[in-house]
Amino acid sequence: MSKILIIEDEESIRRVLKKVLIEEDNKYQFIEASDGVQGIEKIKSNKLNLILCDIKMPKKDGIEVLQFIIKECPEVPTIMISGHGDLETAVESMRLGAFDYISKPPDLNRLLNSVRSALKNNDFTKKSRSNLKKSKEFEIIGDSNEIQDVKNLIQKVSLTNAKVLIQGPNGSGKELVAHQIHLNSSRNDAPFIEVNCAAIPSELIESELFGHIKGAFTSAVKDKAGKFEAANGGTIFLDEIGDMSLSAQSKVLRVLQEHKIQRVGSEKDLIVDVRVIAATNKNLRNEISLNNFREDLYHRLAVIEINVPSLNNRKSDIPALIQHFLKDISKENQLTLKNIENKAVLELQKYDWSGNVRELRNVIERLSILSDNSVIMLEDIIKYSNKK
């Protein structure tokens, strides 16, 4: 039984962490501490397998606790919990020897993956590393020829540090490919940092990626580390890179060429060791011809290209995806697991899935919640799928 210490001054966060981990494995044993001083006392009096530690706490903060852990029991992996704006401190904790850090509110999939990884990594055995690589968290479902080609490429490229460009329509599962490459690589015990380039305003993207120094612009009230620093030693996933500004593209190119970054407003070079995986739903060659994307950056990124097929191009995978989603959704929503009749499956295979796997999952979730019987019938598909 793994004994986990949670050091966190917010009771609600402690409760959420325990609930999520118990649902994952009810064999975990929990010890709690509400501040850094109490946490250190618990560490002294218990043989622990894992520590989850908040950064900002009364009496002693998380960095002080981590320094004690590194000195007195370095064999115990520690996952830091950082609040909004604590990225700088979280990066510092990784340098000190923390296993990983999780932002508040905790992303549940990221938390579970990190806890599993920490507990398995703590064994320092080939078997645990192998088990880690077989993690089901980001499993790619399907046996079609198209998806098998993708899986084969993942296995080949994961063993290297080659840069990868993942292309495919929205909702097709590009992020799963990126996660699988990281999990099957030698960097799998280091951070995996995701950046949605389309979701960050163009005027903030450089600060997000490379950080900034105090006074670099009006709202820069203190130094801040960027995503590349946070990913040092691990992998950074630049999702929707086709939406990145030309200015930011030139700086990413420099990182790929020189393995150096500069925070916004600084002239000091910082060395980073980061594997870059990028993804886009755009045709970058067309974007190059329109002067929206740098050709030199494209060639740097596209050492290995992986094209993720649309769901319409691998409809033979729909039955397996449906079964996977039914189990996943029933667990997430605490619903009774439903079956689905063959006629209903065949009907779903006829539809045009412009939203790809993501759209299919949404439909299965709707059917799981709204259908009245234990078996999803053809009439349920017609009534609730919103497809024609």
**Together in a domain, 264 and 225:** yes
Rounded CA separation 262/216 (Å): 12
Same domain as 380, residue 266: no
Identify whether residues 20 and 122 lie together within a single domain.
Answer: yes
Lowest mean pLDDT across 84-98, 198-212, 315-329: 84-98
**Confidence band for 121, pLDDT divided at 50, 70 and 90:** low
Domain presence at residue 127: yes
Which among 92, 109, 133 is the end of a domain?
133
Look up the domain containing 274 and give its range: 145-309
First-to-last alpha carbon distance for the chain, in angstroms, is: 51
CA dihedral 366, 368, 374, 379 (to 10 degrees): 20
Task: Judge if 325 and 346 occupy the same domain.
Answer: yes
pLDDT greater than 80 at residue 39:
yes
- Both tokens of 14, joined, read 């402690």
Same domain, yes or no, for 234 and 368?
Answer: no
Residues 304 and 318 in one domain: no
What is the SS3 assignment for the chain?
Answer: CCEEEEECCCHHHHHHHHHHHHHHCCCCEEEEECCHHHHHHHHHHCCCCEEEEECCCCCCCHHHHHHHHHHHCCCCCEEEEECCCCHHHHHHHHHHCCCEEEECCCCHHHHHHHHHHHHHHCCCCHHHHHHHHCCCCCCCCCCCHHHHHHHHHHHHHHCCCCCEEEECCCCCCHHHHHHHHHHCCCCCCCCEEEEECCCCCCCCHHHHHHCECCCCCCCCCCCECCHHHHCCCCEEEEECHHHCCHHHHHHHHHHHHHCEECCECCCCCEECCCEEEEEECCCHHHHHHCCCCCHHHHHHHCCEEEECCCHHHCHHHHHHHHHHHHHHHHHHCCCCCCEECHHHHHHHHHCCCCCHHHHHHHHHHHHHHHCCCCEECHHHHHHHCCCC
pLDDT of 355 reads: 96
pLDDT in tens, 254-284: 999 999 999 999 889 999 999 999 999 999 9
Q: What is the pLDDT of residue 135?
A: 56
Which CATH number goes with the domain that contains 112? 3.40.50.2300
Distance CA(326)–CA(345), nearest Å, equals: 12
Which pLDDT does position 131 carry in this prediction?
Answer: 36
Asked if residue 139 belongs to a domain, the reply is no
On the question of pLDDT at 129 being above 50, the answer is: no
Amino acid at 54: D
Phi and psi for 51 in degrees, rounded to 5?
-125, 130
pLDDT digits (tens, 9 = 90+) for 220-259: 778 888 899 999 999 999 999 999 999 899 999 999 999 9
Whether residues 302 and 320 fall in one domain: no
Total number of domains in the chain = 3
In a domain, 220, yes or no: yes
Residue 138: inside a domain: no
89 with 109, same domain: the answer is yes
Average pLDDT over every residue of 192-215: 89
What are the tokens at 194?
Answer: 């995701």
How many CB atoms lie under 10 A from the CB of residue 387? 14
* CATH number, domain with residue 360: 1.10.8.60
Residue 182 to residues 106, 159, 176, 193, 269, Cα–Cα distance (Å): 20, 10, 10, 10, 26
pLDDT (tens digit per residue) in 341-367: 999 999 999 999 999 999 999 999 999
Same domain for 188 and 305? yes
The yes-or-no verdict on residue 199 having pLDDT over 60 is: yes
Q: What are phi and psi of 292, to 5 degrees?
A: -100, -15
CB 275 within 8 A of CB 234: yes
Q: pLDDT at position 86, please?
A: 63
- pTM value surpassing 0.85: no
Rounded CA-CA distance 209/227 in Å is 5
Question: In this predicted structure, which of 104-108, 129-133, 235-239, 359-363 has the lowest mean pLDDT?
Answer: 129-133
Range scoring the smallest mean pLDDT among 80-94, 202-216, 254-268, 321-335? 80-94
- Same domain for 95 and 32, yes or no, is yes
309, 336, 356: which is the final residue of a domain? 309
Asked if residue 332 is part of any domain, the answer here is: yes
In a domain, 344, yes or no: yes
Residues 328 and 278 in one domain: no
Look at 386 and 41; give whichever has higher pLDDT.
Answer: 41
pLDDT of 153 higher than 60: yes
pLDDT in the model for residue 85: 58
The answer to whether residue 202 sits within a structural domain is: yes
Instruction: Please tell me the distance from the alpha carbon of residue 285 to that of residue 294, in angstroms, as a whole number.
Output: 10
> Which is more confident, 54 or 86?
54
Which of 107, 133, 159 finishes a domain?
Answer: 133
Instruction: Give the C-alpha separation, 125 to 140, whole Å.
Output: 26
The backbone torsions φ and ψ at residue 44, rounded to the nearest 5 degrees and listed phi first, read -65, -35
Percent of the chain residues past pLDDT 90, beyond the cut: 61
Question: Among 73, 86, 118, which residue's Cα sits nearest to residue 99?
Answer: 118
pLDDT at 189 over 50: yes
Considering the domain architecture, whether residues 120 and 206 belong to the same structural domain is answered as: no
Instruction: Kindly state whether residue 140 falls inside one of the protein's structural domains.
Output: no
Q: What is the CATH number of the domain that holds 154?
A: 3.40.50.300
